[in-house]
Amino acid sequence: MVLVVLCAGYAVGSALGWGSGELALIMGDFGLTAAAGAAAVSCFLYARTRRVRFRPAWLLFALSSAMAALGNLVWGWYEVVLGRPVPSPSYADLFFLCFAPPAIVGLLVLAARPVSKAGWVCLVLDAWLIAGSLLTLSWSLALAQAAKFDGPSVAHAALSLAYPLLDIALVSMVLVLHFRRSYVNRTAVNTAVGALALTVMCDALFTSPLMHNHYHSGQLLDAGWFAGSLLLAYAPWAASRQHGKDTGEGHTRVVHEHMPGHHPGGHPHAAPHPSARAPRQSPPPGGDHSRYPATRPITGSLAALTPYLAAAVCTLGILYNVLNGRSVDRVVLLTGGAVVLALVVRQGIMLLDNITLTQELAQKENHFRSLVQGSSDVIMIAAPSGILRYVSPAAAGVYGRPAEALVGTELADLIHPEDLGCVVHEVRRFLAASPQDEPTTRIECRFRSGDGGWLNVESTVNRHHGGLIFNSRDVTERVRLQAQLQHNAEHDPLTDLPNRALFTRRVQQALSGRRSSDRGTALRNTAVLFIDLDGFKAVNDTIGHQAGDELLVQAARRLQDAVRKGDTASRLGGDEFAALIVGDTTRDRAARQRHILELADRLRMTLSQPYLIDGNDVRVAASIGVAFAEPGLGAGEILRNADLAMYRAKAGGKGRVELYKPQMQQDVVRKAELATRLRAALHDGEFALLHQPVVRLEDGRISSVAAHARWRSSQGVLFTPAEFLRVAEDGDRTAELGRWILEEAVEQAADRAANGLTVPVAVRMAARRLLDRSMPLGSVEALLTRHGLPSGSLVIELADLDPRVPLDELERRLGALRRLGVRIALDGFGGGYGALTALRRLPVDVLKLDRSLVEGVVESARLHKITSGLLRIACDLGLQSVADGVDLPEQVVALRAMGCTHGQGMAFSGPLDEYRLRRALAAGRCSVPHGPAEPAFAGGATGVYTSGVTAVLGSGSALRSHTETPVPPT
């Protein structure tokens, strides 16, 4: 717009004579110099930019504009500075004559380069046809008179002919370039051609006899030169503005119909349709891009008529001389003859080229026909009315119907009715879209086969003379495979039940997919059952994993049969199952809960029935947690709640149904907080180690001490961290806490031994922790060696004998520890699982009676007999017996009478700190009651006997039993 305004202002000012004569001279000379100089600088700077196309052409245009600027500068020097007419010839004429050759060569660079010698010959012939015709016409009109020497000198006459001849050559190249220009940077090339055409037109007017004798600077003709130079200056930069538009590519739309298990994905773009003209469209393979340019129809027609138009111009030149009664000039005859000869040669070349093209076309037609006939894809051409006009022979193999039977049928009759609506909609949308933006589309639908069934067919659709071309292939197997893969991704491979991902998605749908009118009631009636098979690991360990898999398959079948049709049963992994019970609109929530709990209990009983596997009855129990949906809960939250309820059912004795309560989540949070506090206490050294004497019941002599961990609160009071220890047993810090207790006990025992107080120390450890890699065998030996603890001074109390612990491996580990001088005590004897099995297989030195037996040994005759029998077993095996939790004098008397050798409890002493322990060890014994005694209680604490050795912490407060579980406030 700025260029238009500037050039229009210059033209209006020249036409109306605005300003003084001196201003007209300055603008006509130095104004043109500035415009040409701007064009030279602009083209030169553009040629220096990176990744520019046709760099030599723009450099030549810069040189051509520089010559024009110098010519105008010399012209202005004479007219404006010296104030006298410009001589003829002058240096200005030299520069003006040098304007055309660089411009001509630059236009040749911009032209599309032929790829063959015949192409170059045709290019030269086209240029000569245009130039010869223009020369004939110009010579007939004006140049013949100019060629007669009637000027002041021969140079003046030559100059009179040089200008028009160069203009003719430049016009010829402009016209040739218009029909043969490259399709890269079209905007820049068109702008440059227009600028040079405007300049040549002004030159032709300047050299014509009509205006040459009356020309002076500042006329309207200068506005044409001014506009041509500015337009050439703008030309190279116009390419960058249109770059984004010229590089657009078409897109392909894909429509999938009835695709079970289909995952949409990327697909390659189809080739552009022939009718979609794109600036950067690639030529077809094997084609000659220069011979078949992608031109518009009008442009192609004018290019084909160029030779005949040139011949017509030559004929007009000759007729002009004849009609004016003048003899035909020899120059006109020679030029006309050369034009006719060039036309004949060019037509001969075109004839040979056409013969070659016809042969190539026939060859390619045969080639593509063989491709279509032999293709495994079905190619169909449908008319705009939807009637099939052509069907390739591959239809017989793909559709099971001969191609002849399909031709003439309605395409809509072959598409599945459920897919027809979407297919018609997509076809209409595709036909309405721009071919440039969307040259092709892809449709998948079901297609009728010859046997009456339906095939999944994928079709690539292209436009064809208002109709459509379908390139179709059978993808039924692929669709089935995708559906199978989708099923496998969402179902458990063993039981074929929905897996965790699909179950979670269905739970989420049940929580959010209800209508707003009944969503609240139905949501609250929706429940999730979380099921775990108790004892399943024992089945794998005893009769094998294959039997375990068969048990899971049967359990899944029972679960699937137990739920309703609209509910979902799922296997989450391992022996964990789940069921989604979709809610209804029942208003009585209590009745709904009772119904689902009854369903869960029936399911528990069903899953707990014996399983017949390889002729044997295998029994497992089922623990079920039930959680009801609540507003605001997601799928993850309700699954978590059901899982918590299931673990509460397992903790309550297994084989139970437990309903989720908010307290369960609070317990989990509190347990996590306690675990965090345990880690902090271990890190900050807040744990202390106390020791409780183990005395001989006969005389009260201290035979060993048992190490107990205590947690020191911020007030300095020691508390029994039983709850912390339960957290630690299931947490990651169990091994760290066990290592700390063992190292601290060994270090303190070694320090006491160095001071002459040698007494064995007992450390309680879980059986599974002895097999943990966190405490390898060599670590105990290294610990004893490092602290110099004498052999036999460490007793490991084996606790929590889990049936899942492999006894063979545990036996080997305990044997290795005994070889190090470590004594083994069986803790909790008579109150745990597999005590007799452990006693039979494990190398044990000490039997430690369980606290539950000791507490009722006086009151219960049954416990008295059981305890007496266990003590006889220990005596017969030659093992030392220790009673744990001896808190009352009556218990001491009774146990001693039954043959128990040692005791530990508040009847003798509570847990002692290091200072009081050393005082007790220095004394060597504790007072032991030898007859009936009445218990005395301190501070109302049940079972705390104070007649023995009193252990006081702080300001006289009695020690707590290590079975109590108070913890510091959070």
Residue 560 clears pLDDT 90, i.e. is over it: yes
Helix pair angle (500-512, 635-651), 10° resolution: 120
Q: Which pair of tokens denotes residue 258?
A: 């009835």
- Min mean pLDDT across 129-138, 396-405, 666-675, 726-735 is at 726-735
Q: Using one digit for the tens of pLDDT, what is the confidence trace for 890-945?
A: 999 999 999 999 999 999 998 998 899 999 999 888 888 776 544 333 333 333 33
**Distance between CA atoms of residues 828 and 764, nearest Å:** 11
pLDDT band at 273 (very low <50, low <70, confident <90, very high): very low
- Classified as helix, coil or strand, 271 is coil
Q: Using one digit for the tens of pLDDT, what is the confidence trace for 275-296?
A: 333 333 333 333 343 343 444 4
Q: Is 610 left (phi over 0), alpha (psi -120 to 50) or beta?
A: beta
Q: Quick one: average pLDDT of 757-774?
A: 83
Q: DSSP letter at 899?
A: T
Top-confidence residue, 944 or 712: 712
Percent of the chain residues past pLDDT 70, beyond the cut: 67
pLDDT band at 706 (very low <50, low <70, confident <90, very high): very high
Q: Quick one: average pLDDT of 57-74?
A: 83
Structure confidence at residue 167 (pLDDT): 61
- Classified as helix, coil or strand, 469 is strand
Residue 595 clears pLDDT 60, i.e. is over it: yes
pLDDT band at 260 (very low <50, low <70, confident <90, very high): very low
259 Cβ contact list (under 8 Å, min separation 6): 444, 456, 479, 482
Residue 193 clears pLDDT 90, i.e. is over it: no
Q: Which pair of tokens denotes residue 265?
A: 């994905």
Q: Average per-residue pLDDT in the chain?
A: 75
pLDDT band at 367 (very low <50, low <70, confident <90, very high): confident
- Distances 66 to 99, 583, 788, 877, 958 between C-alpha atoms, Å: 8, 88, 102, 120, 112
Q: Quick one: average pLDDT of 253-270?
A: 40
Q: Quick one: average pLDDT of 825-837?
A: 73
Residue 386 clears pLDDT 80, i.e. is over it: yes
8 A C-beta contact, residue 415 and residue 456: no
Structure confidence at residue 263 (pLDDT): 39
**Distance between CA atoms of residues 270 and 677, nearest Å:** 64
Structure confidence at residue 627 (pLDDT): 93
Top-confidence residue, 329 or 56: 56
Structure confidence at residue 964 (pLDDT): 41
Top-confidence residue, 288 or 353: 353
Which range has highest mean pLDDT (172-176, 330-334, 512-516)?
330-334
Structure confidence at residue 763 (pLDDT): 92
Q: Which pair of tokens denotes residue 732?
A: 């990651």
Top-confidence residue, 143 or 187: 187
How far from the centroid of its chain's Cα atoms is residue 608's Cα?
44
Residue 407 clears pLDDT 60, i.e. is over it: yes
Structure confidence at residue 968 (pLDDT): 42
**Distance between CA atoms of residues 44 and 460, nearest Å:** 49
- Min mean pLDDT across 305-309, 360-364, 873-877 is at 305-309
Can you name the residues that pair with 766 across neighbouring β-strands?
799
pLDDT band at 495 (very low <50, low <70, confident <90, very high): very high
pLDDT band at 135 (very low <50, low <70, confident <90, very high): low
Q: How is 862-874 classified by DSSP, letter by letter? A: HHHHHHHHHHHHH
Structure confidence at residue 957 (pLDDT): 35
pLDDT band at 761 (very low <50, low <70, confident <90, very high): very high
Top-confidence residue, 955 or 481: 481
Structure confidence at residue 454 (pLDDT): 92
Q: DSSP letter at 89?
A: S
pLDDT band at 162 (very low <50, low <70, confident <90, very high): low
Structure confidence at residue 631 (pLDDT): 83
Residue 551 clears pLDDT 90, i.e. is over it: yes
Percent of the chain residues past pLDDT 90, beyond the cut: 21
Q: Quick one: average pLDDT of 446-474?
A: 88
Answer yes or no: pTM beyond 0.85.
no
Structure confidence at residue 251 (pLDDT): 42
Structure confidence at residue 283 (pLDDT): 38
Residue 411 clears pLDDT 80, i.e. is over it: yes
Single out the residue of 314, 295, 294, 310 nearest to residue 125, CA to CA.
310
Top-confidence residue, 566 or 204: 566
- Min mean pLDDT across 19-33, 199-213, 517-531, 864-878 is at 199-213
Can you name the residues that pair with 762 across neighbouring β-strands?
706, 795
CA angle 740, 746, 748 (to 5 degrees): 100
Residue 143 clears pLDDT 60, i.e. is over it: no
Helix pair angle (635-651, 662-684), 10° resolution: 80
pLDDT band at 461 (very low <50, low <70, confident <90, very high): very high
Q: Quick one: average pLDDT of 12-32?
A: 67
Residue 691 clears pLDDT 70, i.e. is over it: yes
- Distances 362 to 116, 366, 373, 429 between C-alpha atoms, Å: 22, 6, 16, 36
Q: Which residues of 177-199 are buried (b: 16+ CB within 10 A; e: fewer)?
A: bbbbbbbebebbbebbbbbbbbb
Structure confidence at residue 244 (pLDDT): 44
8 A C-beta contact, residue 935 and residue 890: yes
Which range has highest mean pLDDT (75-89, 122-136, 189-203, 606-620)?
606-620
Structure confidence at residue 16 (pLDDT): 62
Residue 596, phi then psi, degrees to nearest 5 = -70, -35
Q: Using one digit for the tens of pLDDT, what is the confidence trace for 951-969?
A: 333 333 333 444 443 444 3
- Which strands, in side-by-side order, build the sheet including 467-474? 252-256, 440-448, 454-464, 467-474, 378-382, 388-391
8 A C-beta contact, residue 637 and residue 662: no
